[in-house]
Amino acid sequence: MERTYIMTKPDAYDRGLIGQIITRIENKGFKIVDMKMMNLDEDILKEHYAHLADKPFFPEIVEYMMSAPVIGMVVEGSGVVDSMRKIMGPTDGLEANPGTIRGDFANNKSQNLIHGSDSIENAEIEIKRFFG
């Protein structure tokens, strides 16, 4: 069965939106098969966001992602990788349509509440990274 790695970000924790995010995943009929709260360190974030390492905002992402706990989840279902990206909405909350998590709750492109794997291949890499 297809799986993806979903992670609520520190702003979801700070704003008390974790329950609403989880509810949207469950409402869609996807199964949360593993879940844990973590405080991420710089090493794992440099690995996870390696594709952004040369961007000027990279230090801010690392700082933000370490500012409060995250909830990592393995979510399972047919077509779950692409479907979760649709449920999340695009990176920038201002561009995201209402009805998406980012469209309903985020208003910028850095503090955008949720991470979701962007391909089946990356999903397996990220599940291994965060769940071993």
How many residues bind to ligand CDP according to rule CB under 6 A?
9
Number of Cβ atoms within 10 Å of the Cβ of 101: 24
Asked if 7 and 115 count as a contact pair (C-beta separation under 8 A), the reply is yes
* Cα–Cα distance, 126 to 44 (Å, whole number): 10
Can you read off the two tokens belonging to residue 108?
A: 């910028």
The stretch near ligand CDP (CB under 6 A) out of 21-29, 72-80, 110-118, 122-130 is 110-118
Candidate ranges 21-29, 30-38, 66-74, 109-117; the one touching ligand CDP (CB under 6 A): 109-117
Backbone angles phi, psi at 115, to 5 degrees: -110, 145
Single residue of 91, 97, 107, 119 touching ligand CDP by CB under 6 A: 91
Helix (H, G, I), strand (E, B), or coil: what is residue 57? coil
Among 112, 123, 126, 127, binds ligand CDP (CB under 6 A): 112
| Residue closer to ligand CDP (CB basis): 34 or 92 | 92
List of residues contacting ligand CDP (CB under 6 A): 52, 57, 61, 91, 109-110, 112, 115, 118
